[in-house]
């Protein structure tokens, strides 16, 4: 096998994966089918491509085709592809959960975003360079803390430190005495 079809297959495979990740499932299906036809269905790379194809078919709401391809892939020569196909088949054949509409968060359709961006004016307009920019207000300085009058603070030793040392030494002594 020459490297040219393999290079084209790799490129189509990568473009198909990218299309899938961008939500362009029909495009992903076409690219992945092209890549599989260039590499062959029985190869390890062909198996990986077909696993992506199963995911693309399911995402494009072509579940029956995805299940049929996944069934075929459970007998693929590559063990990794077989195990991946079995895992996917288990998921695809699982019953669908019924979800109430109030549980859903609707995601807006962004498929025509690029087209809309070219036709819609920007939301904001840039600043007119002839007008001076408004100066930003300077933050107010924090007030100085009041100085502490040390003559009002009780700095006499009240014996707390000595009492705590005696208690700690008593606890340690007790632990050593009873730990024997």
- Per-residue model confidence as pLDDT tens digits over 88-144: 999 999 888 888 888 888 877 777 766 655 555 555 556 666 777 777 788 888 888
Domain boundaries, the chain: 3-93
pLDDT in tens, 2-29: 578 888 999 999 999 999 999 999 999 9
Lowest model confidence (mean pLDDT) among 47-61, 97-111, 114-128, 166-180: 114-128
pLDDT, residue 154, reads: 77
What pLDDT is stored for residue 70 in this prediction? 93
Q: Is the pLDDT of residue 49 over 60?
A: yes
Written in H, E and C, the secondary structure of the chain is: CCHHHHHHHHHHHHHHHHHHHCCCHHHHHHHHHHHHHHHCCCCHHHHHHHHHHHHHHHHCCCHHHHHHHHHHHCCCCCHHHHHHHHHHHHHHHCCCCCCCHHHCCCCCCCCCHHHHHHHCCCCCCCCCCCCCCCCCCCCCCCCCCCCCCHHHCCCCCCCHHHHHHHHHHHHHHHHHHHCC
Model pTM?
A: 0.55
- The yes-or-no verdict on residue 175 having pLDDT over 60 is yes
Q: Does domain 3-93 have CATH number 1.25.40.10?
A: yes
């Amino acid at each position: 096998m020459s490297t040219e079809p393999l290079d084209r297959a790799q490129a189509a495979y990568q473009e198909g994966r990218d299309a899938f990740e961008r939500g362009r499932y029909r495009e992903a299906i076409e690219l992945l089918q092209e890549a599989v036809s260039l590499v062959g269905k029985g190869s390890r790379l062909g198996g990986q491509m077909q696993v992506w194809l199963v995911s693309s078919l399911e995402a494009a709401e072509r579940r029956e085709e995805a299940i049929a391809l996944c069934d075929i892939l459970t007998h693929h020569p590559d063990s990794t592809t077989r195990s991946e196909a079995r895992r996917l088949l288990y998921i695809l054949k699982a019953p669908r959960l019924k979800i109430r509409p109030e549980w859903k968060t609707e995601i807006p359709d962004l498929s025509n975003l690029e087209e809309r961006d070219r036709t819609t004016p920007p939301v904001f307009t840039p600043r007119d360079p002839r007008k001076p920019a408004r100066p930003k207000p300077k933050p107010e300085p924090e007030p100085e803390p009041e100085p502490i009058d040390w003559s009002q603070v009780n700095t006499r030793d009240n014996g707390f430190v000595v009492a705590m040392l005696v208690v700690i030494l008593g606890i340690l002594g007790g632990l050593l005495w009873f730990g024997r």
